[in-house]
Structure 1
Amino acid sequence: MSSAERTRASRERILSAACEVIAEVGFEKIRMRMVAEHAGVSTALLHYHFENREKLFTEAMTHSFAHTSTELERDADTVPAAVILARILHSLLPTDPVLRQDWRLWQELWVRALRDETTQRLAVDLYDQLHDWVGQALRRGVDSGEFADCDVDATSTTLLALCDGFGIRLMLGDPRVTVASAQTALWATAARELKIAPQFPQL
Structure 2
Amino acid sequence: MARKNAAVRREEILAATVEEIESSGLRTLRVSNVAARLGLSASLVIYHFETKEALVNEAFDFAGRQDIDHARQLAGGTAAPVDGSGDATARAASARGEQSALQQLRDVVGWYLPSGSSRSWKIWIDAWSAGLFDESVKATYAALVSEWKTILVGLMDGAIAAGECSAPEGGVDACATRILAFLDGLAIQVMVNSDAVDPELLTEWVDNFLTRELR
Q: Tell me, in whole angstroms, the C-alpha distance in 2 between the residues paired with 1:149 and 1:126.
A: 24
Residue 207 of structure 2: aligned partner = 187
In structure 2, which of residues 117, 121, 125 is the aligned counterpart of residue 107 of structure 1?
125
Displacement of 1:62 after TM fit? 0.8
Residue 69 of structure 1: aligned partner = 68
In structure 2, which of residues 198, 206, 214 is the aligned counterpart of residue 178 of structure 1?
198
Residue 199 of structure 1: aligned partner = none
Matched, 1:34 2:33: yes
Q: Tell me, in whole angstroms, the C-alpha distance in 2 between the residues paired with 1:51 and 1:91.
A: 33
Q: Tell me, in whole angstroms, the C-alpha distance in 2 between the residues paired with 1:80 and 1:97.
A: 21
Q: Superposition pairs for residues 2-13 of structure 1, below 5 Å? A: 6-13=5-12
Q: Tell me, in whole angstroms, the C-alpha distance in 2 between the residues paired with 1:39 and 1:97.
A: 26
Residue 162 of structure 2: aligned partner = 144
Q: 1:131-157 deviations in whole A, cap 9, x for unaligned?
A: 222222212222333332232012111
Q: Which amino acid aligns with 2:106?
A: A
Provide the secondary structure at the position in 1 that maps to 2:180.
helix
Rate the CA distance shift 1:123–1:7 in 2: closer, same or farther, 3 A: same
Q: Is the 8 A contact 2:71 2:108 kept in 1?
A: yes
Q: Tell me, in whole angstroms, the C-alpha distance in 2 between the residues paired with 1:46 and 1:98.
A: 25
Rate the CA distance shift 1:145–1:45 in 2: closer, same or farther, 3 A: farther
In structure 2, which of residues 142, 145, 155 is the aligned counterpart of residue 124 of structure 1?
142
Residue 83 of structure 2: aligned partner = none
TM-score in terms of structure 1 length: 0.82
Rate the CA distance shift 1:46–1:110 in 2: closer, same or farther, 3 A: same
TM-score in terms of structure 2 length: 0.78
Q: Which amino acid aligns with 1:34?
A: N
Q: 1:93-114 deviations in whole A, cap 9, x for unaligned?
A: 2116843xx2111111111122
Provide the secondary structure at the position in 2 that maps to 1:30.
coil
Displacement of 1:173 after TM fit? 4.3
Provide the secondary structure at the position in 2 that maps to 1:147.
coil
In structure 1, which of residues 86, 89, 92 is the aligned counterpart of residue 109 of structure 2?
89
Q: Tell me, in whole angstroms, the C-alpha distance in 2 between the residues paired with 1:158 and 1:21.
A: 31
Residue 91 of structure 2: aligned partner = none
Specify every segment of 5 or more residues in structure 1 that has no aligned partner in the other structure, as ranges.
Answer: 196-203
Aligned residue-pair number: 191
Q: Tell me, in whole angstroms, the C-alpha distance in 1 between the residues paired with 2:66 and 2:29.
A: 22
Residue 56 of structure 1: aligned partner = 55
Q: Tell me, in whole angstroms, the C-alpha distance in 2 between the residues paired with 1:40 and 1:137.
A: 44
